[in-house]
A and B are shown apart, each in its own frame.
Chain A
Amino acid sequence: MTAADLAFYVLSAVAVVSGWRVFRTDSMVRASFLLMLSFIAVAAIMLMLAAPYIGMATVFMMAVEMMVMALFMVMFMMNPAGLNPMSMVHQNRLSIGAAATAFVGLTVAVLFTDLPHEKVARQAPVIRDLGHELLGPSMLVFESAGVTLLAAMVASVVLSARSGRFGPSDEGSRPPGLEPGGEPAGRVPESEQEDE
């Protein structure tokens, strides 16, 4: 067993154990950072697989992502150090089914895929190759995903902003009518439906 093997087994163990602890801990902030730890261990394995850019970017992305999740949890819960413990699992039956299906599916995929065996050369320009792939053959896929995400972000900010799309949202903004002076377009808010 070489040092690389040992590192692989240790990192895998960290990834699996911290992934398991995500569901056994009693605080949402702890759960999200345990998930981050699990992802960081996977990122380190990617570094060992000669994918330095993807490995580093995974650490970066997961740190930011889990941080934002934890931020929202504090926003909703206002709960330092998880004062009030809470259970991290719900809808147990459905989740067990989904997890078993995913596990079987992934195992089948791993066992039946013809994985490449040749080693990546030590001096291979892997980052350059990745860049050419992203901005070459795969450009359409990545750019459409990227632009869609950006549009979704802009839309969610517009929808939730206080300035509102049809005037200040805290002063009861109303969309304009389809014809001049007509009924406001779009769905009528529930509170107003009851009045009618």
Chain B
Amino acid sequence: MAARLARAPGISLQHSIRHAAILLVAGRYRDTDRSALCRLHDQLPQPRATAWWGAAPLTDVHDPVTIAEGDDPVPQLRRLDRDLLRGARASEPDWLPDEPPNAWRGKGDHGQGGKGMMGGVPYGRPMAMMGEEMRDGLMLDAMTVTIGPFLRTLPPGLSLELTLQGDVIQQARVATPAYSASGIASEPLLRAARILELLGLPDLARRARISAARGDDDEGLVAAARRRGALLALPADLADVRARLDAALRRGAAPDPGEECLVDRLAGMEWQSALLRVASFDPATLSRIAPAAEPEEGEEEKAA
């Protein structure tokens, strides 16, 4: 749905919620994603507003702006933005209480989280803790964070719990699986657009989205991607991503990755490469290779 917005002049989709003015909830969301949605909303800078496009507003939201699924949201979004800037519409308050999710449980002698100088779970959030680096066994601190389920660079709905050492992923776990396949014909192009964005080619990504929204074939897309080095930039160990990007740009079927487990493949990968690999799978494959893991304790949403 959001691909249709790529053509709208004056509306730009942001990568970080902090850079946005309006939160647009497009399409249905899972009940379990409600709290993530609330946290996302509360990170919007004021003045802020939320528009529900083909989505049911949360029950306790005052005066929600709803847009029917078939309607063009652009005029409404423009009006909403203008009203916000002029002060004709009041900025939305926080949906969640502004307090830590858990009580302070730090126990260090310097007022920090854990014993000694590291680790611990103050406010229920895990701090950096020593662990063996998986490549050479060096003892380094690793940090665990959860990204998603509404991170623009990940497939919609997918949320990953990552243990990071620098920009290298030590361990990954699927917190919530991606939304199931929508079955629309333009899906490969939207996926290609996400990959192109990860490669730092926003203009080409927009072109792919426009082509997807129009439903026509943009013959020059593969050549344009090749000219800008999109395929060349992917190293040999991401050859599978390269093949899937090439196929997605041609709207063809990608080679089947076979029986693999996504989170196992992510361990040891650098951030950008890992996101590129996650973004390259089509929804059907993704739901097969990245099913929800058994819930553990201490799930935490950090990024917008």
Interface residue ranges, A against B (CB under 8 Å):
26, 74-79, 83-87, 162, 169-170
Contacts and interface: CB of A to CB of B under 8 A. Distances in A.
Max chain B CB contacts within 10 Å: which of A75, A78, A85? A78
Chain B interface size, under 10 / 10 to 19 / 20 to 34 / 35 or more: 20 to 34
A78 B141 contact: yes
A86 B119 CA distance: 12
Contact of A78 (B112, B135, B142): B142
A37 to B, nearest CB: 24
Max chain B CB contacts within 10 Å: which of A76, A162, A169, A170? A76
B128 A79 contact: yes
A86 B140 contact: no
29 contacts: A75-B140, A75-B165, A75-B166, A76-B140, A77-B118, A78-B128, A78-B141, A78-B142, A78-B166, A79-B127, A79-B128, A79-B141, A79-B143, A83-B127, A83-B128, A84-B108, A84-B112, A84-B117, A84-B119, A84-B127, A85-B110, A85-B112, A86-B110, A86-B112, A86-B117, A87-B110, A87-B117, A162-B136, A170-B136
Nearest to A26: B110
B113 interface: yes
Given A78-B128, A78-B164, A78-B166, A83 B112 contact: yes
Nearest to B128: A78
A78 B110 contact: no
B166 to A, nearest CB: 6
Contacts of A26: 110
A79 B119 CA distance: 10
Given A83-B127, A84-B120, A78 B111 contact: no
Interface in B136-168: 136, 140-143, 164-166
B136 A84 contact: no
Contacts of B127: 79, 83-84
A160 B112 CA distance: 34
Give chain B's interface secondary structure class: loop
Contacts of B135: 162, 170
B128 A77 contact: yes
A196 to B, nearest CB: 22
B283 interface: no
B110 A83 contact: no
Nearest to B112: A84
B25 to A, nearest CB: 30
Nearest to A86: B117
A26 B142 CA distance: 20
Nearest to A74: B166
B114 interface: yes
A74 B120 CA distance: 18
A74 B140 CA distance: 10
A78 B143 contact: yes
A103 to B, nearest CB: 29
A86 B108 CA distance: 10
Given A75-B140, A78-B128, A78-B141, A83 B165 contact: no
B137 to A, nearest CB: 9
Interface string B264-280: 00000000000000000
A16 B8 CA distance: 57
Interface string B157-182: 00000001110000000000000000
A100 to B, nearest CB: 27
The 5 closest A-B pairs by CB, nearest first: A84-B112, A78-B141, A78-B128, A86-B117, A78-B143
A78 B114 contact: no
Given A78-B164, A86-B112, A86-B117, 14 more contacts: A26-B110, A74-B166, A75-B140, A75-B165, A76-B140, A76-B141, A77-B128, A78-B140, A78-B141, A79-B128, A84-B127, A85-B110, A87-B117, A162-B136
Contacts of A169: 136
B128 A84 contact: yes
Nearest to B117: A86
